[in-house]
Amino acid sequence: MFQVYFNEAGREFIIKNTHRGLWYEDGKLTKVLEAGRYEIPPKRFWGTKQPIVECLLVDVRERELTIKGQEILTADKVAIRVSILVQYRVNDPQAAVHTVDNYEDRIYTDVQLAARRSLASMTLEEILTNRNQLSEEILSDVSESAGGYGVSIKRADVKDLLFPGNLQEIMNRVLAAERNSQAQLVDARTRAEVEQIQSQSMAEATRREAEAAAEARKLKEQAEAEALRIQSEAEARAYEERATAAATLEGHPALLRLAELETLRDLAVNANARLYLGFDRHGLSYQQAETREISS
């Protein structure tokens, strides 16, 4: 705690923005001084009685207080030593000076007791895995009491945790095992991700092959359908041409006779060709038709 008294009559002094002044007259606080220039009034004589004036400067800047080496038992009966860093600021100089004898000593005691209460309710594992929770509990516990004597607690962070020697060795082994398990977990995750990527690649390749096969089948079916359509159209045209030819021959018997002669000429080219002629009822029956070879 930084306090400065000014009580010499006629003395001038300056209060900076970092401080506030408590103005006393005959030991009674009469006002709180802001930053500025002030003077202790001189003593007067001629039988007049002047009050004795004093001014106390109080630092209102944000400051730090370290609470070191507090040995505390956890909920599972493990003795640990803890250091706590406290950041605080005097909001009400009058309350800070008049409510408690020494507000820095009071902060120290309040934080120490709050840490003991919090640590006593937590196991060692909880403390190690959630140090922030411990800091928050200490801050919440001490903030209300500190506000009663004009001090605002900004932070109360657990700075250091020290364990007994054998426990420290055990903790190191535990940490090494945790790091090893984490490395194995990362390796397993990497392998799983690689296998997943490979499976996805194979599935994608299979899908593409299936799509390509389906497309090939589709194209083949379309080609077959197109060929069938062309064949059908060709047959239809052939039938139409035959029908047209038949109609033409029917209307022109001479053309029909000419076609028969052309057919006979073509057959005559083949030595093995045979021609079967059927006669009417005045000649041989169809079953008794004479078979003649047509020589070339």
pLDDT digits (tens, 9 = 90+) for 235-275: 888 888 878 877 777 777 777 777 777 777 777 777 776 66
CATH of the domain at 103: 3.30.479.30
The answer to whether position 40 is within a domain reads: yes
pLDDT at 293: 42
Instruction: Give how many domains the chain has, as a whole number.
Output: 2
The answer to whether position 49 is within a domain reads: yes
pLDDT at 294: 43
Look at residue 90 and tell me whether its pLDDT is greater than 90: yes
Alpha-carbon span 137 to 164, nearest angstrom: 24
Give me the phi and psi of 68, to 5 degrees please: -100, 150
What integer best gives the mean pLDDT of the chain?
Answer: 81
The answer to whether position 102 is within a domain reads: yes
148-177: average pLDDT: 77
The answer to whether position 138 is within a domain reads: yes
Kindly state the tokens that stand for 145. 């009491």
CA dihedral 109→112→118→120, nearest 10 degrees, is -110
Give which of 85, 87, 107 is closest to 96, Cα–Cα. 107
Residues 40 and 100 in one domain: no
Residues 72 and 155 in one domain: yes
Cβ neighbours for 37, distance < 8 A, ≥ 6 positions apart: 12, 13, 14, 15
Alpha-carbon span 246 to 122, nearest angstrom: 112
pLDDT at 80: 84
**pLDDT > 90 in the chain, percent:** 23
Alpha-carbon span 84 to 155, nearest angstrom: 10
Alpha-carbon span 40 to 14, nearest angstrom: 11
Kindly state the tokens that stand for 185. 């977990």
The answer to whether position 229 is within a domain reads: no
pLDDT at 289: 41
The residue out of 135, 164, 193 marking a domain boundary is 164
The answer to whether position 269 is within a domain reads: no
Residues 51 and 69 in one domain: no
Residues 114 and 82 in one domain: yes
User: Domain range holding 130?
Assistant: 62-164
Give the residue carrying structure tokens 């009058």: 94
| Lowest-confidence pick of 146-150, 156-160, 166-170, 250-254 | 166-170
CB half-sphere exposure, 13, CA atoms < 13 A = 22
- The band of 104, judged by pLDDT with boundaries at 50, 70 and 90, is very high
Look at residue 1 and tell me whether its pLDDT is greater than 60: no
* CB of 160 closer than 8 Å to CB of 136: no
The answer to whether position 137 is within a domain reads: yes
Convert the pLDDT of each residue in 118-154 to its tens digit.
Answer: 888 888 778 877 878 888 889 999 998 999 999 999 9
Kindly state the tokens that stand for 214. 């389906």
Give the residue carrying structure tokens 């994608």: 204
Give which of 88, 129, 94, 89 is closest to 23, Cα–Cα. 94
Phi-psi region of 10 (alpha: psi -120 to 50; beta: other; left: phi over 0): left
| Lowest-confidence pick of 84-98, 228-242, 264-278 | 264-278
